[in-house]
Amino acid sequence: MNFVWLFLIITSFIFAAVNGRMEDVVNAMLKSSQSAVLIAFSLIGIMTFWLGMVHIAKVSGLMDIFSKLTTPFMWLIFKDVKKGSSAFSNITLNFSANALGLTNAATPFGIKAMQDLQNENKKDKKTATNAMCTLLAMNTAGFQLVPASVLAILTVSGAKNPTEIILPTLIVTSITFICAIIISKILERVF
């Protein structure tokens, strides 16, 4: 992939030099760099805020309540995970954090869930279990009720109404989530 980026950069410099537009390329690079730094610092603030909210939600028991609400649904998806397993608990916490748009907070739960599922893996340790594949599909689909990161980027970028992305995001992530689960369950029977 690095070669692709290198090719694109060199090609743009060559075409800019040939067309006498090198000044435009340099100005675009500087402006883009400035925007990238602004967005990165803004995301630090937004993510700090949301991670603090997750910590408060976790300490206050709100995450546990949300996890308990999603537990019946999760039992339908992860039937082969043991009841009372720490893997199941981490799966529901991962789903809950992702649903609330806190993908950075969800990552540690997802990693821990994968580790727990690997520990429960009684078969070949080099082969992922059905639950591991389903968890990966679920995370890749990325169901979100509130796309916090996208809202932050749109706000920093100066969008007039950044919240109008919420409904389309909910629709798209719901469809991809359902499709990912269905495909995972179909492939689980095939393989």
* Residues contacting residue 153 through CB under 8 Å, at least 6 positions apart: 39, 42, 43
Cα-Cα-Cα-Cα torsion 105, 106, 108, 111, nearest 10 degrees, comes to: -170
Q: According to the model, what pLDDT value does residue 135 have?
A: 95
Q: What is the distance between the alpha carbons of residues 31 and 36, in angstroms, rounded to a whole number?
A: 9
Is the pTM value of this prediction over 0.75?
Answer: no
Segment 86-105 shows an average pLDDT of 83
Domain spans in the chain, listed from the N-terminal domain onward:
2-13+24-42, 44-190
pLDDT tens-digit readout, 7-66: 998 998 899 999 999 999 889 989 988 888 888 887 787 778 777 877 787 789 887 787
Q: According to the model, what pLDDT value does residue 45 have?
A: 79
Q: The tokens of 106 are what?
A: 């969800």
Q: According to the model, what pLDDT value does residue 180 have?
A: 95
- pLDDT above 80 (res 189): yes
Q: According to the model, what pLDDT value does residue 98 have?
A: 85
Q: According to the model, what pLDDT value does residue 93 have?
A: 83
pLDDT band at 99 (very low <50, low <70, confident <90, very high): confident
Q: What is the distance between the alpha carbons of residues 42 and 119, in angstroms, rounded to a whole number?
A: 38
pLDDT tens-digit readout, 128-163: 899 999 999 999 998 888 887 788 788 878 889 988
Q: According to the model, what pLDDT value does residue 62 have?
A: 81
- pLDDT above 80 (res 103): no
- pLDDT above 80 (res 102): no
- pLDDT above 80 (res 113): yes
Give which of 117, 129, 131, 74 is closest to 99, Cα–Cα: 74
Q: According to the model, what pLDDT value does residue 148 have?
A: 77
Q: The tokens of 94 are what?
A: 């991962």
Q: Which amino acid is at 187?
A: L
